[in-house]
């Protein structure tokens, strides 16, 4: 597993790249940013520490604290482990919070 500070740094970088450009580059690997479904939210799949993840732009219409922040114009990105399909972290304006870590 990655050191906590490295994990935070990688997720922060992915969130910033997702929201500002057509691709995400992690450890020399380039992943293309695509748009999902009818709402056209940005998303990208990437590999970190040998595991595949997906970063997804937050839907502002969701009735959650994250949806509320997105409605306010904040840049909210959710991170999902593709193997378990569980959300593992969120980035708000570049600040990363891992789920399950106080």
pLDDT band at 7 (very low <50, low <70, confident <90, very high): confident
pLDDT digits (tens, 9 = 90+) for 17-69: 999 999 999 989 999 999 987 788 999 999 988 899 999 999 999 999 999 99
**Ranges of each domain in the chain:** 4-98
Torsional class of 16: left (φ above 0), alpha (ψ -120 to 50), beta (otherwise): alpha
Does the pLDDT at position 2 exceed 80? Answer: no
Enter the pTM of the model: 0.90
Does the pLDDT at position 89 exceed 80? Answer: yes
Count of beta carbons in the 10 Å neighbourhood of residue 57: 22
Q: Residue 56: is it exposed, middle or buried by C-beta count within 10 angstroms (0-12/13-18/19+)?
A: middle
């Amino acid at each position: 597993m990655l050191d906590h500070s490295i994990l935070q740094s990688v997720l922060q970088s992915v969130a910033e790249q997702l929201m500002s450009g057509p691709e995400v580059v992690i450890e020399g690997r380039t992943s293309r940013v695509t748009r999902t479904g009818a709402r056209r939210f940005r998303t990208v799949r990437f590999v970190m520490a040998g595991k595949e993840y997906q970063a997804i732009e937050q839907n502002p219409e969701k009735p959650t604290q994250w949806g509320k922040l997105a409605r306010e114009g904040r840049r909210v990105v959710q991170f999902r482990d593709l193997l378990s399909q569980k959300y593992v972290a969120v980035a708000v304006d570049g600040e990363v919070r891992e789920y399950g870590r106080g």
